[in-house]
Amino acid sequence: MILASIRSARKELAFDGELVIVHPSRDSIAILPQPEWGCLLETLSFWGEREPKLRDIDTQVRAGTWKEMRPVADVSFLAPLPRTWAFLDGSAFIEHVKLVRKARGAELPDDLFTIPLMYQGASDNLLSPTEDLPLIDQAHGMDFESEVAVITDAVPMGTPAAQASSHVKLLVLLNDVSLRELIPRELGTGFGFFHGKPPSSLAPFALTPDELGGAWHDGRVHVPLETWLNGSRFGFPDAGLMHFSFFQLIEHAAKTRPLSPGTIIGSGTVSNEDASVGASCLVEQRMREKIESGSIKTQYLRDGDAISIKMIQNGVNVFGSIEHRVRQVR
């Protein structure tokens, strides 16, 4: 089942959007009866009750018997969750951790391979798939970070990884925007990210895990994640090569607190040791350049740069694309 949120004329859905079901062709959507159906965040709060009803509608959509269909060209997609209770971003790809730490001269943690890294990002204003990325100052070092993420239902505190699979309700693609030149100072204070992590964005379509078939197993999405910069493919690493699975990330996040329905948990930047598959962020490319040649050639994002993030499975752009252009705020 493929879900999305579209811009709505209903005042009560102005911020959260209107929940719709996407046809498997990705060329049309099913409009759900109102006011019975509202936004995705509300639906996740009552997932056990509402999923069977959504599945029934989805069956009709696939059979061509659902009458209220609309072409995707006629609607405006928001992030599947334009705002939610929490965005917890892990760093499950060890190669990324190594390169980013080296870039800012930081030591690797002793427990790198046993305890996931995770921070809490802004979740109150997630960008739509096609919004411009506002660049306040070129000196801030704006970077994209292409990731996979899961959306959970309510997760009890202390949930172990072995019991986490039932709490993964949806899969999404994420661009975790970073301002690299602001981050070292913030981390150096001991308090962590704030200004260095502006709003992130999501691809338009949220998939139930079964939609990916065998590509979803062991708490990982085993499909390459493509990032394009200014029309050229920047990287296509395998998203399945996570050191920590999403089940382990859920266990880590729920160690000292319950997780609310609609919690987004990111994989961290998708990264492989094989440099030939490119990268999913600029800082990795910059660090590899420095290691190989002693000098950095790749610049951080500038006004007018175009970023595209997508995942192609069997020729299908399964999550839809994140398509951003960097816009200088003047």
The SS3 assignment for 284 reads helix
pLDDT at 53 over 90: yes
Give the start-to-end residue ranges of the domains of the chain: 2-74, 87-328
DSSP, residue by residue, 127-171: BPTT--EEES-GGG-EE-BEEEEEEES-B-TT--GGG-GGGEEEE
Closest CA to 84 of 15, 131, 36: 15
The pLDDT score that the predictor gives to residue 9 is 87
pLDDT tens string 150-200: 999 999 999 999 999 999 999 999 999 999 999 999 989 999 889 999 999
Which CATH superfamily is 87-328 part of? Fumarylacetoacetase-like, C-terminal domain (3.90.850.10)
The pLDDT score that the predictor gives to residue 151 is 98
The pLDDT score that the predictor gives to residue 100 is 84
- Using CA of residue 263, residue 87, residue 165, residue 2, what is the dihedral sign? positive
* Percent of the chain whose predicted confidence (pLDDT) is above 90: 90
Closest CA to 269 of 114, 98, 137: 98
The pLDDT score that the predictor gives to residue 109 is 86
pLDDT tens string 125-134: 999 999 999 9
The pLDDT score that the predictor gives to residue 197 is 96
Q: Across residues 268-289, what is the average pLDDT?
A: 95
Q: Which residue has the tokens 């301002």?
A: 179
pLDDT tens string 100-121: 888 777 888 899 999 999 999 9
* Pairwise CA distance, residues 142 & 302, whole Å: 8
Cβ 251 vs Cβ 259: under 8 Å: no
DSSP state of 85: S
